[in-house]
Amino acid sequence: MINKPLPQPLNIAPGQTAILTVPTENLTLIGLKLILSGTTFDKTKIDSVKLKVGSRVLWDLTYAQVQAINAYKNSADNAKYLFLDFVERDQAVFPVKEVGGLDLYALLKTGVVTVELKINSAAVAPKIDVVGYYEQAQGNPIVLKYVPFTAAFNSSGKFTLPVQLKGAVLKRLYVFYTGTAWTGTTNGNVSRMECKKNSMVFHDEYDLDNRFTQSHFKKVPQAGLYVCDFIVDNNHDAQVTSARVMNGGAYVYDAFEFNAFITDAAGASLTIIAEVLDAAENL
């Protein structure tokens, strides 16, 4: 892969939002490595990350969410670095593994790629250097998105989550929850997830069993998080499409049902993040 330094973000200061503008060139951006230094500054002092193409928001994540997603994927962990990964590192098939990278020329009709980093006020003299990782241009406008949804339930039981896909291809569903945490031998507050497409079940597993499967495939389960990983074995063919073309050419969205089973009587507050491949202008 190609790697090279990018211009430093502007407005790097405690309590401010630093803005990185990625230069547009005939390459596909597959990752950004943020190198963090200063008197008192590391990745824990980045409160949130927002990735945009023009005015379209592709990522809008807290630091804790970025960290949990990276850690689940068994990424390298060092407080002085924050890596934003747009492709599927462990996918063996090239160029399929690079789908989701930001083809900068193909996206130019939508806008320039920018990253907004909210810096915590506790940072002292922060500094951010950036290295971009690239592959050859794909001519592909499909990008990786993390799309958030929220829900809250005040009792235990089975609840349907307000997730909409609108034609995007679903890779993973991250369900961040409050309440009882899982242990090595017990389920967490989201004790089970059931996922249906056009009334057919394609995922139904208790938390404990789900985490064993993920560990077997070299993923790392995270506290307070249930992951529906539809490509847990790194097989891209298992990605879940959410629309189809019918006979006659009609474009139809599939019907989905994502059901969470909450065990705490007090319920739970949930943030659901859909990891999808999608056109920049869609979801």
Answer with the one of 140, 167, 190 that is the final residue of a domain: 140
Asked if residue 135 and residue 169 are part of one domain, the reply reads: no
Summarize pLDDT for 185-234 with one digit per residue, the tens: 999 999 999 999 999 999 999 999 999 999 999 999 999 999 999 999 99
Q: Provide the domain count of the chain.
A: 2
Query: In the prediction, which pLDDT does 138 show?
Result: 87
For the segment 16-21, the average pLDDT, to the nearest whole number, is: 98
Asked if residue 189 and residue 104 are part of one domain, the reply reads: no
Asked if residue 274 and residue 163 are part of one domain, the reply reads: yes
Asked if residue 6 and residue 136 are part of one domain, the reply reads: yes
**Element of type H or E holding 46:** strand 46-53
Reading the block at residue 58, the tokens are 């592709």
**Element of type H or E holding 6:** strand 2-6
Q: What angle do CA 21, 24, 27 make, to 5 degrees?
A: 125
CATH of the domain at 238: 2.60.120.730
pTM over 0.85: yes
pLDDT at 247 over 80: no
Percent of the chain past pLDDT 90, that is, above it, reads 90
The span from the CA of 218 to the CA of 234, in Å, is: 10
Coil vs helix vs strand at 47: strand
Summarize pLDDT for 119-133 with one digit per residue, the tens: 999 999 999 999 999
Average pLDDT, the chain: 95
Asked if residue 257 and residue 218 are part of one domain, the reply reads: yes
Reading the block at residue 42, the tokens are 């590391």
Answer with the one of 140, 166, 201 that is the final residue of a domain: 140
Answer with the one of 87, 106, 140 that is the final residue of a domain: 140
Asked if residue 272 and residue 169 are part of one domain, the reply reads: yes
Asked if residue 88 and residue 153 are part of one domain, the reply reads: no
pLDDT at 94 over 80: no
Residues 6 or more apart whose CB falls under 8 angstroms from that of 31 comprise 83, 84, 85, 86, 87, 132, 133
Asked if residue 165 and residue 136 are part of one domain, the reply reads: no
Asked if residue 214 and residue 160 are part of one domain, the reply reads: yes
**pLDDT class of 93 with cuts at 50, 70, 90:** confident
* Domain carrying residue 189: 144-279
Query: In the prediction, which pLDDT does 249 show?
Result: 73
pLDDT at 283 over 90: no
Percent of the chain past pLDDT 70, that is, above it, reads 100
CB 187: neighbour CB atoms within 10 A? 19
Asked if residue 204 and residue 107 are part of one domain, the reply reads: no
Summarize pLDDT for 263-274 with one digit per residue, the tens: 999 999 999 999
